[in-house]
């Protein structure tokens, strides 16, 4: 007798990955299923921003078969998930409680709609173009110089990673013969030639295209397969033909219906986001009029320069630091609003929950509202007469 399983963990993950394609994730990210069995039945799915120990316990207490979070639990490498380690304890709580764990991180940031779309709507703008476009179809043009006898071996390694695919064709490349030369300096360990003597030999230049998202993996594969200590290669990003206004990517830009002062807009942001002890703070002239707004959920000081180039009046993000903001303002950049990281991203859970509940009627969904912002106190000097 066979038991029929309804909606599985894998079915829910497929729905989430259709909305938040994994290929949109940044190269350093770790998205997807963290623990659990994709074939297990998913009757109840819980949503949270972080998988802290308390959140894991909440999910198990709810009877959740899957916990969906934004921040990956194992983003930074660990050598153990023993139950007496903080992350290991979380994993053991979930596994013994029959709850799988799935993360949609920078892929959910870049997707449309994504995390920053929700933030944009909350602060009062219609989300337009990204601050940084992330095109899942973006490609690089590579040029690699290889000794003739090693061309087939090196290219096989690169093709295995995903280089050279154009439409329905694989292993696409163009090559021509030439000569390469170099002079090894002290400390070099050349495959060919001697330290201090110029060396010249036949080389083959091979050109091919590859998805930009594979760049770091291809560099690693090239260095491992190439016979030279320092292989010669170049990478050129190919022009994208995507419409910036509808492109996927990090952050969003839009305009307020009416201009208002920075002071008024800061209060509007504070009123719109979940409350935290941190609150909301701003840098810039409080009476400055603002209308064009950029937002980036989570830590966003790396986009200060990009926001300035887009000509916005104010940039809303989180986790801002003293020196980058000071230098940004002294360079004439837009005003900046700094929110708590948790507050700028937690509203995304309603978006993710809606995606699952609309696609799987048999699945019960639940948002864990526990505040996982680590800051618990905000103090100011007592007023004196």
Closest CA to 17 of 350, 356, 348, 296: 356
β-bridge partners, 8: 41
- The alpha carbon torsion through 220, 222, 224, 229 (nearest 10 deg) reads -110
Whether residue 345 is annotated as binding a ligand: the answer is yes
Closest CA to 342 of 281, 252, 275: 275
Residue 181: Cβ-neighbour burial (10 angstroms; 0-12, 13-18, 19+): exposed
Closest CA to 219 of 201, 239, 235, 241: 235
Whether residue 109 is annotated as binding a ligand: the answer is yes
CB 36 within 8 A of CB 66: yes
Name the H helices within 273-321: 304-309
CB 339 within 8 A of CB 269: yes
CB 58 within 8 A of CB 71: no
> Would you say the C-alpha torsion 155, 159, 163, 164 has a positive or negative sign?
positive
Closest CA to 113 of 318, 355, 306: 355
User: Among all chains, which residue has been given the structure tokens 């596994």?
Assistant: 95
Whether residue 50 is annotated as binding a ligand: the answer is no
**339 vs 283, 286, 299, CA distance in Å?**
12, 16, 10
Q: Is 35 helix (H, G, I), strand (E, B) or coil?
A: strand
Whether residue 341 is annotated as binding a ligand: the answer is yes
Q: How many Cβ atoms are within 10 Å of 17's Cβ, its own excluded?
A: 18
Name the H helices within the chain: 9-19, 53-62, 86-96, 106-110, 115-123, 151-161, 215-225, 262-272, 304-309, 322-330, 341-345, 348-359
Q: Enumerate the known binding-site residues for a divalent metal cation.
A: 70-71, 109, 341, 345
Q: Enumerate the known binding-site residues.
A: 70-71, 109, 341, 345
């Amino acid at each position: 007798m066979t038991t029929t399983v309804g909606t599985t963990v894998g079915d829910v993950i497929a729905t989430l990955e259709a909305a938040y394609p994994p290929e949109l994730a940044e190269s350093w990210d770790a998205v997807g299923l963290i623990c659990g069995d994709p074939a297990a039945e998913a009757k109840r799915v819980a949503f949270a921003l972080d998988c802290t120990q308390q959140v894991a316990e909440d999910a198990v207490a709810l009877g959740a078969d899957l916990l969906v979070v934004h921040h990956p639990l194992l983003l930074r490498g660990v050598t153990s998930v023993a139950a007496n380690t903080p992350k290991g304890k979380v994993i053991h709580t979930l596994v013994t409680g029959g709850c799988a764990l799935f993360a949609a991180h920078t892929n959910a940031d870049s997707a449309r709609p994504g995390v920053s779309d929700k933030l944009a709507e909350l602060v009062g703008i219609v989300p337009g173009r990204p601050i940084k476009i992330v095109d899942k179809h973006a490609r690089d043009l590579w040029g690699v110089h290889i000794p003739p006898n090693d061309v087939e071996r090196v290219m096989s390694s690169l093709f295995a990673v995903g280089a050279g695919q154009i439409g329905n064709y694989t292993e696409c490349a163009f090559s021509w013969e030439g000569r390469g030369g170099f002079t090894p300096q002290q400390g070099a360990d050349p495959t060919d030639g001697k330290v201090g003597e110029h060396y010249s030999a036949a080389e083959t230049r091979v050109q091919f295209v590859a998805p930009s998202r594979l760049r770091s993996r291809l560099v690693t594969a090239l260095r491992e397969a190439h016979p030279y200590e320092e292989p010669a290669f170049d990478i050129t990003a190919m022009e994208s033909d995507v419409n910036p206004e509808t492109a996927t990517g990090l952050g969003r830009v839009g305009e307020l219906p009416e201009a208002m002062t920075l002071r008024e807009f800061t209060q509007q942001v504070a009123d719109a986001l979940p409350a935290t002890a941190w609150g909301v703070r701003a840098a810039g002239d409080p009476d400055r009029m603002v209308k064009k707004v950029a937002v980036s959920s989570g830590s966003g000081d790396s986009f200060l320069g990009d926001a300035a180039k887009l000509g916005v009046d104010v940039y809303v993000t989180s986790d801002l630091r003293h020196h980058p903001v000071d230098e940004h303002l002294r360079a004439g950049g837009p005003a900046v609003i700094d929110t708590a990281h948790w507050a700028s991203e937690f509203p995304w859970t309603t978006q993710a929950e809606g995606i699952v509940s609309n696609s799987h009627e048999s699945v019960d969904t639940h948002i864990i509202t526990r505040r996982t912002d680590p800051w618990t106190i905000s103090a100011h000097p007592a007023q004196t007469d």
